[in-house]
A and B are shown apart, each in its own frame.
Chain A
Amino acid sequence: MMCEELKDVYELYALGLAEGPEKVEIEAHLARGCESCERGVKDARAMNAMLLATSPSVKPPRRLKRRVMSSVGIKHSGWGWAAGLAAACLLLITLWLGVEERQRSAELADARRTLIQVRGQRDQLRQAMNLLNQPETREIGFGKGQAAPRGNVFVNPSSGVLLVAPNLPPLARGKIYEMWIIPKGGAPRPAGLFAADTSSGGVNLMPGAVDLASLGAVAVTVEPEAGSPAPTSQPIIFAPVAGP
């Protein structure tokens, strides 16, 4: 037979399944060093291996490696995976601690900020209560009959000016409320920045002595977040202070 007639059975030959005259012929070709058949059978071996490798993957039991190692006289400790696992765990713990540390630092910084804020609010509240309890404190209402904002300004000659606007709406990001003290016949002077929230509205205290004789009004405008040295918008609160 010619090599051409044999090429269809190279794979079967390599699998040990060739039969009859074809098998005899291939063996004869190989025995006499037929390069074409040698190459054909070699390629067939490669294809056979490739086809076998398309088998669905099945995970062997862990003990099988131990058996294989033992069968060739090598003791398999079986702890390689444990060392790998331990290393992986260590790495995870280290990473976790790192993340945890960063998270804790961030939380701590948040807590410090909150504490400072709370202390500030507590001090402001104490001052506000002190101002409200003094008999010489004057109450000036504003916005009466309006939907919003409504509230009161409390003025004390020695303790300062307290603004309470319970329904002052929160502002968009980048904006802030600024309180102004407006002397009679003078330009508005900045009296503190404050935010408002939906639950308590806006409260702002300007501590310190106030000359009631020259005080013309207390006003609030919406300003850029950093505040302004002079109002840049129309007042949303304007509370005129009548003379003493």
Chain B
Amino acid sequence: MRPLDGIRVLDFTWVVAGPVTTRILADLGADVIKVERRGSLDFGDRRGGLSGSLMRGKRSILLDLNDPRGLDLARRLAAVSDVVIDNFSARVMTNLGLDYDALVQIRPEVICVRMTGFGLTGPDRDHVSYGPTLQALTGYTLLMAEPDGPPAGFGYSYSDLAGGNLGALAVLAAIWHRRRTGRGQLVDLAQLETVAAVLGPVLLERALQGGASAPAGNASQEAPAAPHGVYPCAGEERWIAITVFTDAEWERFADAAGGPAWTRDTRFATRAGRVRHAAELDRQVAQWTRGQKAEEAMALFQRAGIAAGLVANAEDLCARDPQLAARRHFVEVPTPEGRTVRIDGPPFVLSETPGAVSGPGPLLGEHADEVLSGLLGIGAEEIAALRAARVLG
């Protein structure tokens, strides 16, 4: 069994953040029915890879929601679903008559998740956004940079992942709440707030101590540490991340590195000294790491009990990392066409009722017939007529 066996999710989400939420629900055993539109954005092969990892284990039905017959089918599916979720701008579901006030009429205990950029209330509620613009508004873009340097990060929409993963927590909590109270509810998830909620203590610091945040490169944001950051290794684009917090760790680090003269520099003998002279220390460490293979230096330091790790690129992560391989983080999934595709699996493990990739990503509209006949009892003739009218894809 899986934790969400018997839960049905009607999933209007697209792009990344919403699909991230519903893929976790699918991994946990929910029946996720993805309601899709013609010509909506995807990222190539729907079975595996990026799109497949976002849509894994979901069923797909293509409905024309601009046609009253299509909208009626969506409403009837909502009436037999536990969770209805979208990540459109706030007004879209309201205009379609699929917002919480409408859904609760046909499914009183529905959990309705509205995943928007800015939420359902507030002066900016109709602003349009994507992950990168939300990261810009919340400080990530400005502060992921070298000291005094121009913005340099994120290279991707982390905000969609933070919002999507937190969205799954929201749905699970709402399901728990419904089991105990019998009540469904509206969930107002503003991705601006999810990504603000994971900033960390910096907001308290600015609120209480004033001042302006400035980029700090790869300096530690937890306990003071030096050396701390990434250092170049032998070869092209090979880097190692190293963190040394304590004096005991520093001694082990120095021994592991073979005790070069600079490790005995008295300026580096204490944590305070190392942090004060971090720039000089970083230069020395980098000079040493340049002669090392990243994997070998990582193993050397880890054997000495030092937090050190390869800065993994896609190939390191997906094809070389023995730890993720041992934990079967990436899984091979057969497709109905007889191919095998690679897909990201759930990143946490439950010992008794584990989540699992239920299947590859669906083709557009692949499950229309089984969804309409199985859930709504619609016959083959009517399905054919709906398809001929292009209400159904």
Partners in one complex: no
Please list the residues of chain A having a beta carbon within 8 angstroms of any beta carbon in chain B: none
Q: Chain B: residues with CB nearer than 8 A to chain A?
A: none
